[in-house]
């Protein structure tokens, strides 16, 4: 039995920030519980090695259910399981959404979540150099940077966007959120900066009021009346604990873990939970529904000459583009990658490059549902990729844009042929 003011569940992007900010007040006792380890493999700090983290010990290793929009394909669905969570395994791109995306949240009823409402928090999160301080932070914990060295294939790719009439943006996170630009990455002195690196590690040993417990899996939220009063968790050795929160439990277990924990705690669609013999606390059918994620496609080219690697994560150029000029804002990200991104099951060219494309506002919706009442069992993850025909049309438009970039005159000296 341990008592705290706040219990934060999950030390990923959100949980690292929550625990660090709440514990700034020395009078507030904060407990942070994370099922992953305190440290991961050395590859976690090497930007170019990020793809090797997928399927590693710091990845939950989820798979989707068979995707009806993809001819029944089952896809890996990586999520970080380590201090830093998915920010410990992700591709480190530091890109705000277009302002219209946040404004749509506010228009849909999320008062206080429009772009202008969030801008002070975006600024507070980052330190940038040479940017417009109206939009960009100057003293926050994250240190995003565009690459210092500009490799020639990436320079040519930027020229390809220009050749095809797409605008250039000096800062996609600033005033001008449309066009092609150099990618900003959360990479500091050549190393990944996860949310844990930025927010948690600098303070966690210095604050006696902040307790961080790793290898601790929360099994259930304790509900008393209509209040969450604490959590039940198990350490790796099987020892079980109950921790009580005098103030609040802050659920930051991520897009898969948070709905799973609510379900295990009896909060969700009552009939589905009863089928797993879970006692109902609140019948809330929306918990676990409306999962939405960005599909990513790629066009892979064999190279006519070796493509010199960039210094970061293999991707240096990003275009935020409109596939249809009648749209009010960009609907597609098109990106350059200095290696052939070929799924492991397929043979790719030895040397090559990739033009990737991703829908910014997918319409398809899926769900996260329980497979079992066992907290150790993976839930059923269904992103519902391409189940909405508008997403199919959008991805085809993205494919055309990507092929135009890859097939441009500016990329001619690098391109041998399109291979996938």
Ligand X SMILES: Cc1cc2nc3c(=O)[nH]c(=O)nc-3n(C[C@H](O)[C@H](O)[C@H](O)COP(=O)(O)OP(=O)(O)OC[C@H]3O[C@@H](n4cnc5c(N)ncnc54)[C@H](O)[C@@H]3O)c2cc1C
Positions in the binding site for ligand X (CB under 6 A): 9-15, 33-36, 54, 78-81, 85-87, 89-93, 217-218, 252-255, 257, 261
Range list of β-strands (E), 54-205: 62-63, 76-77, 179-182, 187-188, 191-192
For ligand X, the closer CB: 23 or 86: 86
Question: Angle 152-163/389-406 helices, nearest 10 degrees?
Answer: 110
Give min distance, CB of 356 to ligand X, in A: 12
Structure tokens at 34: 């994370």
**Closer CB to ligand X, 81 or 143, in the complex:** 81
Task: Provide, rounded to whole angstroms, the least separation between the CB of residue 49 and ligand X.
Answer: 12
CA distances from 392 to 56, 76, 283, 342, 343 (A): 31, 20, 34, 21, 20
**Closer by beta carbon to ligand X, 78 or else 147:** 78
Distances in Å between the Cα of 104 and the Cα atoms of 108, 379, 388, 390 are: 6, 30, 20, 19
Strand 315-321: give its sheet, edge to edge: 179-182, 315-321, 332-337, 352-359, 296-303, 415-418
CB-count burial class (<10 Å; 0-12, 13-18, 19+) for 378? middle
> Which residue's entry shows tokens 């500016």?
410
Outline where DSSP puts E strands in 174-288: 179-182, 187-188, 191-192, 210-213, 216-224, 227-235, 240-251, 267-268, 282-283
Complex with ligand X: residue 187 or 303, whichever CB lies closer: 187
Residue 62 CB, shortest distance to ligand X, in Å, is 10
Give min distance, CB of 415 to ligand X, in A.
25
Ramachandran angles phi, psi of 47, nearest 5°: -50, -45
- CA 176, 181, 183 angle in degrees (round to 5)? 110
Question: At 295, phi and psi to the nearest 5?
Answer: -70, 145
Minimum CB distance to ligand X, residue 395 (Å): 19
Residue nearest to ligand X (CB): 12
Task: Rank residues 80 and 356 by Cβ distance to ligand X and give the closer one.
Answer: 80
Contact, 232 vs 222, CB < 8 A? yes
Which residue lies nearer to ligand X by CB, 243 or 261? 261
Closest distance to ligand X from the beta carbon of 228 (Å): 14
For tokens 């705690």, what's the residue?
265
Determine contact, residues 367/255, Cβ cutoff 8 Å.
no
Q: Which helix (H) or strand (E) holds 405?
A: helix 389-406
CB of 212 to ligand X, least distance (A): 12
Residue carrying the six token digits 């005098």: 246
CB of 138 vs ligand X, minimal distance in Å: 21
For ligand X, the closer of residues 90 and 364 by Cβ is 90
Please say which residue, 57 or 389, places its beta carbon nearer to ligand X: 57
Cβ 17 to ligand X shortest distance, Å: 8
Q: How far is the CB of 413 from ligand X (least distance, A)?
A: 28
CB nearer to ligand X: pick between 158 and 262: 262
Cβ of 359: how many Cβ atoms within 10 Å?
24
Taking the least distance from each CB to ligand X, the nearer of 217 and 367 is: 217
For the record, the structure tokens of 319 come out as 């275009």
């Amino acid at each position: 039995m341990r008592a705290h003011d706040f219990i934060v569940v999950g030390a990923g992007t959100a949980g690292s920030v929550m625990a660090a900010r709440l514990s700034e007040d020395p009078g507030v006792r904060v407990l942070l519980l994370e099922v992953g380890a305190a440290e991961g493999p050395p590859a976690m700090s090497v930007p170019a090695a990020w793809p090797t983290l997928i399927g590693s010990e710091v990845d939950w290793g989820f798979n989707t259910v068979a995707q009806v929009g993809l001819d029944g394909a089952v896809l890996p669905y990586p999520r970080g399981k380590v201090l830093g969570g998915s920010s410990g395994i992700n591709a480190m791109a530091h890109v705000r959404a277009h302002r219209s995306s946040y404004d749509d949240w506010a228009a849909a009823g999320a008062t206080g979540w429009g772009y202008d409402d969030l801008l002070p928090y975006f600024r507070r999160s980052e330190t940038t150099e040479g940017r417009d301080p109206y939009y960009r932070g100057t003293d926050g914990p994250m240190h995003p940077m565009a690459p210092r060295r500009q490799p020639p294939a990436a320079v040519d790719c930027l020229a390809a966007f220009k050749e095809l009439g797409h605008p250039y943006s000096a800062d996609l996170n600033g005033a001008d959120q449309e066009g092609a630009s150099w990618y900003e990455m959360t990479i500091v002195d050549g190393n990944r900066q996860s949310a844990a690196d930025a927010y948690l590690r600098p303070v966690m040993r210095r604050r006696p009021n902040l307790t961080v417990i790793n290898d601790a899996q929360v099994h259930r939220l304790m509900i008393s009346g209509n209040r969450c009063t604490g959590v039940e968790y198990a350490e790796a050795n099987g020892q079980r604990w109950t921790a009580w929160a005098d103030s609040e439990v802050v659920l930051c277990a991520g897009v898969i873990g948070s709905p799973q924990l609510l379900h295990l705690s009896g909060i969700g669609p009552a009939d589905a939970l009863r089928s797993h013999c879970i006692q109902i606390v609140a019948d809330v059918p929306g918990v676990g529904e409306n999962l939405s994620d960005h599909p990513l496609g790629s066009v892979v080219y064999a190279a006519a000459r070796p493509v010199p690697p960039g210094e970061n994560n293999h991707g240096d150029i990003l275009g935020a583009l409109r596939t249809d000029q009648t749209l009010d804002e960009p609907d597609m990200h098109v990106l350059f990658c200095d290696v052939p991104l070929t799924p492991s099951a397929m043979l790719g060219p030895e040397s090559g490059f990739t033009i990737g494309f991703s829908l910014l506002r997918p319409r398809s919706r899926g769900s996260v549902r329980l497979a079992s009442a066992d907290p150790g069992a993976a839930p059923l993850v269904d992103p519902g990729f391409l189940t909405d025909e508008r997403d199919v049309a959008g991805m085809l438009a993205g494919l055309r844009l990507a092929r135009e970039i890859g097939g441009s005159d500016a990329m001619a000296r690098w391109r041998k042929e399109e291979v996938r």
